[in-house]
């Protein structure tokens, strides 16, 4: 493990032409203090966790001092925001310090989010607040714990500097890590400017850095688009399977690697509602939970258009036509696993069981996470009543019919209930980042400068499938006081 003075920077993005980024340093913040540090993420860049105790640690990770070897810059991109094209966006409050090559040979971007005004701030202040930083810090690690591709969070550093949102809040900087922060909009900006040479330069860069197995293929650009399409389809299926809503699926928030990133007004659905809208700034529901798979394809079409100078139109259509089958296959398999059904079962055979269960859950307003977790206790014996599960549903006759079909499937597979429960508990989390849990941690941090709840949640959410001996009702649905919590694009 290494100290902050020994990190091995290899800044490949900084070596791209100047029109891909703007070089600048973070804007200092006064009196920084460490809020939370993530040891697991530190290992990704070979950083010794003892470094967090350094007197100057907070100075480095709030941007007041530059890490040796860093070449800070902000990245340019465009994007479709709520369906409307914006010709120039870019990192308005994030600064890429550089890329660290770890001992395994992996490159990890190190980015400071909230590090100050950049050329792309569009009249913004370039800052992040403690509230939003805590939410992203916890959710990115919660998603990692769930096995969903995501950016990672190294630490939060706070400052008493005032930041103006709906109210006056205090500043914070989140250090996040990712194999790349290139996004769909990174290609769109050059397509709409007619700069086709830059599209090829960026595509070659991304393929060489992140898809090296494609680099020597004659059809590398088509294969690249296909791989992004497949990764995105799988990511959408994973989001849907755990009940996660991103909230702002603009093309500038879509990772070229199929990662979840740019967390803002996200939400884990509690009562099952396919039309769930987590973003108060999205009253029309463009990015509602049940719209996410289709939006994923719409965004891929935008990326494909940006890559059209490199790929024949018929090949683009072929690639995009692969999206829906890939998504449905991944989703059916994930949901089948949530029901404890073996992989030998045809995915199509699971659809009716899944669909009818979800309809009953919606009409009974059942908690999505807890219901699937409790299904692990389903007794498949012919004379079993499953009373505790049954009493959660309003339409008992519908449940009885569904339970009979589910029992028949389980008996056909002939596995022991105890073995099935173990499989189901490995894919149905007990703990998710419910909004009210994040809110409790935020209020303690803001009002008392007590960060213990952040660390407690972090330790809980990185092992969401385990039966953890914790004090408190961390697996319970939102209490009444939290029912009115809202998050928006400022979150």
Just list the catalytic residues: 252
Burial of 448 (0-12, 13-18, 19+ CB in 10 A): exposed
The length of the chain, given as a count of residues: 491
CA nearest neighbour of 323 among 258, 417, 376: 258
121 CB-near residues (< 8 Å, 6+ apart) = 92, 93
Adjacent-strand bridge partners of 171: 129
CA nearest neighbour of 251 among 20, 76, 84, 73: 84
HEC-encoded secondary structure of the chain? CECCCCCCECCCHHHCCHHHEEECCCCCCCCCEEEEECHHHHHHCCECHHHHHCCCHHHHHCCCCCCCCCCCEEECCCEEECCEEECCCCCCCEEEEEEEECCCCCEEEEEEECCCCCCCCCCCCCCEEHHHHHHHHHHHHHHHHCCCCECEEEEEEEEEEEEECCCEEEEEEEEEEECCCCEHHHHHHHHHCCCHHHHHHHHHHHHHHHCHHHCCCCCHHHHHHHHHHHHHHHHHHHHHHHCEECCCCCHHHCECCCCECCCCCCEECCECCCCCCCECCCCCCCCCHHHHHHHHHHHHHHHHHHHCCCCCHHHHHHHHHCHHHHHHHHHHHHHHHHCCCCCCCCHHHHHHHHHHHHHHHHHHCCEHHHHHHHHHHCCCCCCCCCHHHHCCCCCHHHHHHHHHHHHHHHHHHCCCHHHHHHHHHCCCCCCCCCHHHHHHHHHHHHHHCCCHHHHHHHHHHCCCCCCCCCCCCCCCCCCHHHCCCCECCCC
Distance of CA 163 to the CA centre of its chain: 25
């Amino acid at each position: 493990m290494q100290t902050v003075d020994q990190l091995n920077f290899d800044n490949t993005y900084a070596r791209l032409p100047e029109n891909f980024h703007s070089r600048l340093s973070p804007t200092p913040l006064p009196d920084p203090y460490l809020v939370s540090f993530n040891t697991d993420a530190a290992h990704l860049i070979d950083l010794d966790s003892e470094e967090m105790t350094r007197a100057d640690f907070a100075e480095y990770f709030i941007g007041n001092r530059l890490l040796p070897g860093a070449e800070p810059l902000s990245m340019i991109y465009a994007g479709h925001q709520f369906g409307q094209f914006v010709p120039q966006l870019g990192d308005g409050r994030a600064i890429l310090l550089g890329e660290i090559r770890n001992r395994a040979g992996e490159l990890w971007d190190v980015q400071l989010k909230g590090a100050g005004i950049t050329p792309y701030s569009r009249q913004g202040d370039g800052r992040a607040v403690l509230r939003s930083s805590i939410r992203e810090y916890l959710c990115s690690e919660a998603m990692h714990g769930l096995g969903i591709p995501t950016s990672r969070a190294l630490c939060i550093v706070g400052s008493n500097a005032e930041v103006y949102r709906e109210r006056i809040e205090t500043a914070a900087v989140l250090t996040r890590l990712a194999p790349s922060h290139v996004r769909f909009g990174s290609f769109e900006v050059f397509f709409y400017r007619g700069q086709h040479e830059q599209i090829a330069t960026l595509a070659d860069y991304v393929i060489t850095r992140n898809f090296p197995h494609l680099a020597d293929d004659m059809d590398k650009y088509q294969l690249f688009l296909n791989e992004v399409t497949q990764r995105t389809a799988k990511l959408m299926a994973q989001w849907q399977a755990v009940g996660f809503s991103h909230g702002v699926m603009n093309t500038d928030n879509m990772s070229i690697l199929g990662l979840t990133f740019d967390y803002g007004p996200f939400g884990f659905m509690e009562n099952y509602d396919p039309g769930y809208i987590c973003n108060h700034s999205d009253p029309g529901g463009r990015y509602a939970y049940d719209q996410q798979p289709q939006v994923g394809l719409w965004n891929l079409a935008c990326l494909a258009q940006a890559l059209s100078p490199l790929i024949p139109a018929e090949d683009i259509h072929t690639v995009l036509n692969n999206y829906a089958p890939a998504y449905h296959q991944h989703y059916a398999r994930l949901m089948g696993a949530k029901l404890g059904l073996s992989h030998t079962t045809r995915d199509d055979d699971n659809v009716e069981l899944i669909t009818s269960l979800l309809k009953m859950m919606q009409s009974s307003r059942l908690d999505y996470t807890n219901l699937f977790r409790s299904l692990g206790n389903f007794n498949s014996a012919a004379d079993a009543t499953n009373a505790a599960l049954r009493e959660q549903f309003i339409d008992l006759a519908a449940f009885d019919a569904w339970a009979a079909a589910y029992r028949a499937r389980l008996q056909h597979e002939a596995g022991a209930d105890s073995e099935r429960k173990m499989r189901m508990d490995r894919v149905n989390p007990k703990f998710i980042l419910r909004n009210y849990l994040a809110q409790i941690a935020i209020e303690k941090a803001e009002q008392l400068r007590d960060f213990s709840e952040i660390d407690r949640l972090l330790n809980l959410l990185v092992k969401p499938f385990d039966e953890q001996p914790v004090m408190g009702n961390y697996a319970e649905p939102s209490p009444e006081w939290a029912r009115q919590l809202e998050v928006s694009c400022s979150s």
